[in-house]
Every structure is written in structure tokens, then in C-alpha cells.
Structure 1
Amino acid sequence: MPDTAPTPEPEESDIVKAALRRSTWAEMKTAEDWWAVWIGGGLLLICFLAMYFSLPADFSDQVTTAKAAGEKVSVHSPLKAWLAKPGSWSDNPLDSIFPPEKNNLLIPLGVVFLISLCAFSIGVKAMQQSVAKFAVGFLGVFLLAALAYILTGQVVVKRYNLEYALWALMIGLVISNTIGTPNWMKPALKTELYIKTGLVVMGASVLFSRLLILGLPGIYVAWVVTPIVLISTYAFGQKILKMESRSLNMVISADMSVCGVSAAIATAASCKAKKEELSFAIGLSLSFTVIMMIVLPAVIKALGIGPILGGAWMGGTIDSTGAVAASGAILGPEAEQVAITIKMIQNILIGVTAFGVAVFWVSFIETKESNIKPDAWEIWYRFPKFVLGFITASAIFSLLYVYLQGGDVVVPAMVKESSKVFRGWFFCLAFISIGLETNFRELAKFLKGGKPLILYVCGQSLNLLLTLLMAWLMFSVFYKDVVNEVFNK
């Protein structure tokens, strides 16, 4: 007789199930990824039309004259005065909203709040959730995001480049791990929706020509390193750590190696993980995301690594897409664009990973008939659709930049003075949400024996080393000249 009883099979209700497949048309009306595309695309359309119809009647003549003189026409978005974030201050934080000798920012901040609330409420309604509860919670989340911006605007803080993402995370974490996240605020913690919408909006600022060029070396960084790390981490957990739960091992491995929450959810359904295992993996990922998005930019600066290589390194290792954008922004626009490109390419592997894990689980792990029937459509079903929004926005505004009369001044002005404001707010809302959703106490029960933590740390260490090596080869050796040409170096 064995010394211990066999581990009981989990109850059916405790297992993360793959969502019932719906038609693409049905998903386009109700899925979060698609609503990130619709909301982000709608805001970009509004920003562009406002810019376009405000151009003077003789704008074409002005552009022609300016080009002949080797100059550029100066244009501004009419939305600039209506959209804002809290500004700088030295001694009195109220100066960030009521700046001396300037118009106060209450109305522009209110406009951003109302537009954001209306846009996301439409998506929430389409996803069949309570708009009233979301609206109440959104007010609280928005006020916390405003507080993060206010703290960021302090002149000493700005000097040390402590970005809004750090403050947003800290505010959320302090609340979550002390008094606890208020229940009335929880319906508005739409981390993924905020991040994905912000990334779609960001697409307008990434020229498609750059995206294509950066994507070539990025494929090597994302598609070569990621599978190696995933397989190695899972094997390490089974062969070396002897983890009892294969499903927890797999979810942590996918979460850490691919792209965090989305990969964890997709993989958990494929390997029939328990819901509490999924929750733990996500919590572990978010905890390390908080650490890495703060520490990694500092390490890159300390080591003297350039922004392009640094951005590629962060894009392949930091789990959350929004955290990648924020960390890249700390190092500058070049690092931000490279990091986001790498992460977008890596996000495509969500569907491939879910499909591969499902095939592996059915074929080699489960000894009885499984209700998971993987097929090639699984890749499309799991594909992060918001990536299509990002690419489409990049392509459209790249065409406008090149072919629209004066597009090289119209598009940058639109981005800088309108769409970039929304993007910043959406990312800030996301990091407030991440902080409010991360409770370190709830992770303690899974850390008995330390195996999951050891698995994550060892896997992420391998990920950091391999990604840095591959990023160096691609961005500093094989494609160095091409990448430098993109950034005019």
C-alpha cells in the first residue's frame, strides 16, 4: 500500500474550461479584444477628423510654400485645449490642476473622464456587464490615476524620471495590501481592456515601415526564445523540482515565457488547470511584473545598454504588455517602440501556445478521454485580436503620414496633442487596476515548499539571459545597420 493517498481529481467546477467557441462575428460584438479595437479605433477616428477639419482652407498652399523653403507648417489639434493630464508642481500639488497664471485643468480632465467613461461603458454593456457598477468603480479608478499623475508631476520626482506607471502601481498595491480593494471599485478593474485599448491607440504613433523592419529581428527574439523557455521551464518543474501539479507547472511556464495573463488564461483552459492555480499564476506574474518594470530599466541604464537593445530585452521578458510600454517609455521613445513591437510579436504566440499545450495534454498527459478537441482553428480563436487593431492603426496612419498633403505634420500633431493623452490615461488606469488586483497575502498558500516560486525565478532567469543574447545578436550584430537607419543613427 502506498504511504499517501493519490491526489483526488479536481471537481469539474474547479477546472478552468475553454470558452465555448462563437463565430467571429459574434465575438466582434462581445469580446474584450474586439472592443479594445472598436474603442481605440473610434477615438483615433475622432482625433483625426477633428484635426483634419480644423486645417485652414489654404493648408495645401502653406505646405507647398514651406517645403520650397525647407521648412514645415505648424499645426495644432483643436482637441488640445480639451484634453489634459495633471501638470507639474513644486510645493503645492493643487498647482498641477490649478496652475498659476494659466487656465485650470478641471474641464479638460473632466472631458477625458467623460469620454473614457462613455467609451468603455459601451464596451462593458456589449460584454453584458453592469454599466452602473462599472461607472461607479470607474470614477474611483480614474481619481486614483489622476493622483498617480499628480505625484509624477512633482519637479523632484520628474528629475529622477519616476514615471506615472510606478506611482499607479504603488497606489494600487498599497490599497490592495492594506485596507483591501473596495468591492464597489472592482467592476471597473478592467486591466486588459485598458491596456489593449491603449495599445490600439498607440498604433497611430508607430509608423508601419518601422514596425516591419523592427519586426524582422523581433521574430527571432520572440519566436525562438519563447518556445525554448516554455519547454525548458516545464521540464525543469517536472524533472528537477518534481512539482505535483503538472497543470500549475504548465500555466506558470506559459505565463512567464509568453505574455502573462492572456497566455495563462489560454493555457489553463488547454491543460484543465484548477481555477485557483490560474489565479495564483496570474498573481505571481503580476507581482514579478511590478518588480521587473521598475528594476529592469534601472539595470539597463546601470549597465550602459542602449535604448534599442534595452527595449528588445524588456519586450521579450516583462510579462504584461502595458508594463512593457511603460518600461520602454522610461528609456525613451526608441526603447518604447522596439519593446512594444517585440511584445506584439510575442503575443501572437498565445494561440499557438494554447493549441500546442492542448495537443500535448490530450496526447501525453491525460489517460482518459478529454473534452478538449484541439484543431487548427484554435490558433485563430486564441489569437489576440487587439494586435490587429494596433497593426491596422499603424498601417492607416503611416499611409496618411506619407500620402496626405502635410501628413508629416498633421499625424504627429494629432498624436501628440490628442491620441497620446488618451493612451497615457488608459495605461495609467491599467496600472492602477494591476495594483488593486494584486494581493500578496493571497499568494502565500501556494508558496509552501517554494517550488512555484523557484520555478518562476529560474524560468525568468533563463528567459532574461536567452532574450538578452538573442536581442544582442539581432539588434546589435545582424540587423544593427538596418535598425539604426530606422532611428536615423
Structure 2
Amino acid sequence: MNRKWYSGMARTEDWWAVWLGLTMFLASVSSLWGLDLTGWMAKPNTWVWGKFSFDAVLKASGKQGWHPVLSWLVTYLVFTALTCLAAWAMKFDLKRFVAGWTVLFVMTWIIWIIGQEAHFKVPVNEFAKFGLSWGLSLGGGFSYLLALLVGLIIGNFFKGTAGFLSEAAKPEWFIKTAIVFLGIKIGVMSMEAAGFITELVITGIAATFVAYMLFWPIVYALGRRVFHLSRDASAVLASGISICGVSAAIATAGAIRARPVIPVVVSILVVIFAMFELIILPGFYTAIAPNQPIVNGSALGLTVKTDGADAAAGAMLDELMRANAEANLGVRWKEGWILMASLTTKIWIDMFIGVWAFVLALVWVYKVERQPGQSKVGLMEIWHRFPKFVLGYLLVWFSYITIASTGPEIAKTLHEAATPVEGSMRTMMFMLTFLSIGVITDFSKLRGMGKLALLYAIALFGIIAPIAYAVAWIFHRGMMPPAL
């Protein structure tokens, strides 16, 4: 209550995703004045087992002759400084954060490098280039799967280590920062295929309507009439399953003043079921509809209920579908378009969390629990509940288009400097997200939640996933990413 419009700008993960994203975008814009403030970023090479060396597995993103080890060290120092500044502002335990962050960072890079080994990554038509006789042709998706697997092993079998890493394992913060970085990629895509982007945005509006107007009342009615849950439990669970996971559950619980335990329980279910979605859906969609990439991406955006898991699943789907298309369909799709289909849908849904929480607050205050002399709900609540990282994503997107549209030379210079941000930095944040999601996921927490877990499973896989795929098919069937 009585919060200012700028409350939380230095204290929330949402806002710090914006600040970190804008910092790196502005660093890339500095290239227009002859500065190179992003070329230090390290990235892994595709390499072959038996030919390991630092030069073979690592390189700097920029044109300058950075030694790969120095490039990696600078990458660590820059991101450690930025994240520690944010951790200090958010009042984390700084010593625990630095220690946990360092371990996560090193593990992430080891896993990322392993995932780039040619037998795991390269498509069949590049076997001869790397001297291979066999390969899995998983593309970059293997790195994500490996990071998730390692994280889940830590989170479920090495709980002392998971507790040590928990202060730094912040998947929602990492993925929101990556999404702000992604604004650059969307800017590039918008200039390449403006009509395609416009169509995705328009269909995203339809997806938002489906999520709020169809999923929510169905799940709420199921909770009330079939499982006989209370009004507040049904409302919070409906928001968590049908809209946007943890964010929507917490926003709804606050709006209707639900019992504190309800959003906690729902959040646990959201995170754990997101793991099943993340593991199952990308491979499942690739198998059942390998020639419908945008349908699959949009369906993920409607189905997966946390920003972290949706972006992670979208990135994995992008890698798996492009690798499969190159190996089996004879076409090379440009990277990022399938991921963008997933995120565009999800971000539209995210943008209206504040509005929905405000609507529910009105319903609960003035109808469900109406009492004499009750307080009023202010419009400012919409702003406070709005996901701020979306602002960063949109600001970077439109700023990139505005700057790049001023001339071809400026566009070329900006693109070269921004590539490490939307490429290597964004992928690193995705890798950190996968590892962190696994670390904080403890499947043993499902004990004692049989009734709610059953409702969640029925609603998610029996109602939301099929309807979401049908809606995505109606609006996106036949749409293809640009080919290389």
C-alpha cells in the first residue's frame, strides 16, 4: 500500500533484468562512436573429441585478438561485477551469492563446452567437415539438456550443494535478462521480415484472449465443482496453471488476499510441472509436427507456465527443430524464430497479469468478500503488477530498429557490436537458467500434494495443452521461419 510508481526499481529481479539488459545494449550502441565494449565476450567453438585445446573450444566474440582464456576471464569478471551489484541492491547474502555464482558460472561453461562437441551437435551433412562417422545431430539443444540434467541431479541427490547454490540460482532473473537481450534479436528479425513479426504479434493477442477468457474459467470451475476447493485456492491455482505460473499465482493471491500458504503450494507445483513440460514438450512437438515450427513455438508459449521454463523450452525447441529440419527436411531455418514464436505468445500473456490481478481484486473486494468500509483498489496496482522485464525487451527492440533504420552503415556497425549480446551473452544466460532451474527443483516436495497435483496434471495436460495446440494450429499453421 502507498507505494510510489518507482518502488522496487533497485530491489527486484524484474527491474534488475531491465538494468542488466539495457547496460549491455548501450555497450553495443557505443560502437557507433568507435568503441568496442562487447567484443570481450567469450563463446564456445564446435570441437572434436581428441583435439581439445583452449583455442579449439573457446574464442572471443569480437574482432580483436583476445586470447580465449583472457576473454573467458573478462566475461566472468564483468558479469560477476554486474550481478553482485544487483545482488547487493536486492539485499541478497553477498558472500553466499558470490560463492554460488562462481560455482554456477564455471559449471555452466564446462557443460556448454561439452555440449558443443561435434558428435553431439553437428548435423549429418557436416560430418565430413569434422571427420565424424556418427553423431546425434542435436544442435545446441544438447547443451541445454545437459545443463538441466546436471541441475536436477544436484537439486534432488545433492541437496547440501543445492542449498549452497540456492542464493545464486535465480532462473527467473537470468531468463528475464536473456529476454531483454533477445530484444536485439527481435529488432534484427523485424527488419528482415516485418510482415512475419506483425502476424505473430496479432496472433499473440488472440492467444492472450484464450489464456485469460478460456483457460482460467475452465480450471476455476474444475477446482470448485469437481475437486471442491475453496474460492481462493481455485482462483490462485487457475491463474498459476492457465496464465503465467508463479507470477500470476502470487499476483492473484495478493489481489484476493488468499491464505499465504496457497501461492506457496501452487508455486511449487508450477515449478515442478514446468520441469516435465520442459523435458517432454520440445522433443514431443518436434516428433509429431517437424514441419510446423511456428505452431509448435506458439503452443509452447501457451502451455508452459513460467517465463524461465517457456524461454528455456522455446530455445530447446528451436535447436531441436532446426537440427531435425536440416538433417531430415533438407532446409536450414534461421536461428531464433521458433523461440520468438514461443516468447511472443508468452510475453503477451505476461503483459496483462497486472490487469487480470486488478480485475480479480475488484471482483473479490466488491462482490465475493464485500464488507462495509472496505478499502478501494487503485489503478496503480496494474503498474505494480506489470512484469517490468517486458518493458526492457520492448525498449531494446524498438531502440534497435530506430537506430538501425538511420542508415546501412550504422545498421552494420550496430549489428556487429550487438551480436555478442543477443548471441553469446543471451545463450550463456539461457544456460545459467537451465542449470539453475534444475538446482532449485526438488521433486520430493510433491509429497502431500496429491489432490492439487492431480488437478494440476489434469488441467495442464488434459485441457490446456490440447486447446493451446489447437489454437496455435488455427493461427499459425503453414508459417515457416526464413531459411538460410
TM-score under structure 2 length normalisation = 0.82
Q: How does 1:53-452 map to 2 (within 5 A)?
A: 53-54=33-34, 79-80=38-39, 82-91=40-49, 95=52, 97=54, 99=56, 105-158=68-121, 159-161=137-139, 162-182=141-161, 183-207=163-187, 208=190, 209=194, 211-243=197-229, 245-304=230-289, 305-329=291-315, 330-331=317-318, 332-366=335-369, 373-447=376-450, 450-452=451-453
Residues 15-48 of structure 1: CA distance to partner in whole angstroms, max 9, x if unpaired?
A: xxxxx45212233233332221111101111123
Q: Which structure is larger by alpha-carbon Rg, 1 or 2?
A: 1
CA distance in 1, matches of 2:164, 2:340: 36
Q: 1:202 to 1:184 in 2, by over 3 A?
A: same
Tell me if the contact between 2:44 and 2:58 (Cα under 8 Å) persists in the aligned partners: no
Q: 1:228 to 1:406 in 2, by over 3 A?
A: same
CA distance in 1, matches of 2:57, 2:255: 57
Segment of structure 1 superposing worse, 425-434 or 38-47:
425-434
CA distance in 2, matches of 1:151, 1:252: 39
| Displacement after TM superposition at 1:107 (Å) | 2.0
Residues 438-465 of structure 1: CA distance to partner in whole angstroms, max 9, x if unpaired?
A: 1111221222xx3432334324432222
- Match status 1:471 vs 2:472: yes
| Displacement after TM superposition at 1:186 (Å) | 1.9
| Displacement after TM superposition at 1:372 (Å) | 7.1
Task: Give the letter for the 1:113 counterpart.
Answer: Y
Q: 1:253 to 1:197 in 2, by over 3 A?
A: same
Residues 34-80 of structure 1: CA distance to partner in whole angstroms, max 9, x if unpaired?
A: 2211111011111231x33448xxxxxxxxxxxxxxxxxxxxx7744
| Displacement after TM superposition at 1:97 (Å) | 4.3
CA distance in 1, matches of 2:7, 2:227: 43
Tell me if the contact between 1:86 and 1:105 (Cα under 8 Å) persists in the aligned partners: no
Matched length: 437
Tell me if the contact between 1:87 and 1:153 (Cα under 8 Å) persists in the aligned partners: yes
Residues 198-249 of structure 1: CA distance to partner in whole angstroms, max 9, x if unpaired?
A: 1111101102546544211110012233331011101101101223x44333
CA distance in 1, matches of 2:258, 2:149: 30
Report the 3-state secondary structure (helix = DSSP H, G, I; strand = E; otherwise coil) of the residue aligned with 2:9. Answer: helix
Report the 3-state secondary structure (helix = DSSP H, G, I; strand = E; otherwise coil) of the residue aligned with 1:85. Answer: strand
Tell me if the contact between 1:261 and 1:285 (Cα under 8 Å) persists in the aligned partners: yes
Residues 327-378 of structure 1: CA distance to partner in whole angstroms, max 9, x if unpaired?
A: 3333242211111111111101211222223233334544767977433322
Tell me if the contact between 1:194 and 1:430 (Cα under 8 Å) persists in the aligned partners: yes
Q: 1:221 to 1:419 in 2, by over 3 A?
A: closer
Task: Give the letter for the 2:212 counterpart.
Answer: T
CA distance in 1, matches of 2:305, 2:418: 26
Segment of structure 1 superposing worse, 334-343 or 146-155:
146-155
Q: 1:29 to 1:345 in 2, by over 3 A?
A: same
Unaligned runs of 5+ in 1: 1-19, 56-76
CA distance in 1, matches of 2:247, 2:83: 20
Segment of structure 1 superposing worse, 341-350 or 206-215:
206-215
Q: 1:100 to 1:202 in 2, by over 3 A?
A: closer
Tell me if the contact between 1:86 and 1:96 (Cα under 8 Å) persists in the aligned partners: no
Residues 151-203 of structure 1: CA distance to partner in whole angstroms, max 9, x if unpaired?
A: 31232322223333322221111111012053332221222221111111110
Q: 1:232 to 1:21 in 2, by over 3 A?
A: farther
Report the 3-state secondary structure (helix = DSSP H, G, I; strand = E; otherwise coil) of the residue aligned with 1:403. Answer: coil
- Match status 1:39 vs 2:25: no
Aligned partner of 2:5 among 19, 24, 42 = 24
CA distance in 2, matches of 1:255, 1:143: 33
Aligned twin of 1:13: none
Q: 1:117 to 1:372 in 2, by over 3 A?
A: farther
CA distance in 2, matches of 1:314, 1:342: 9
Unaligned runs of 5+ in 2: 60-65, 122-136, 319-334
| Seq. identity, % | 27
Task: Give the letter for the 1:426 counterpart.
Answer: M
CA distance in 2, matches of 1:436, 1:370: 47
Q: 1:228 to 1:336 in 2, by over 3 A?
A: same
| Displacement after TM superposition at 1:115 (Å) | 1.2
Task: Give the letter for the 1:185 counterpart.
Answer: L
CA distance in 1, matches of 2:471, 2:207: 6
Q: 1:232 to 1:135 in 2, by over 3 A?
A: same
Task: Give the letter for the 1:176 counterpart.
Answer: G
Report the 3-state secondary structure (helix = DSSP H, G, I; strand = E; otherwise coil) of the residue aligned with 2:56. Answer: coil
Tell me if the contact between 2:245 and 2:305 (Cα under 8 Å) persists in the aligned partners: yes
Q: 1:473 to 1:27 in 2, by over 3 A?
A: same
Tell me if the contact between 2:211 and 2:243 (Cα under 8 Å) persists in the aligned partners: no
CA distance in 2, matches of 1:239, 1:372: 30
Q: 1:154 to 1:488 in 2, by over 3 A?
A: closer
Report the 3-state secondary structure (helix = DSSP H, G, I; strand = E; otherwise coil) of the residue aligned with 2:217. Answer: helix
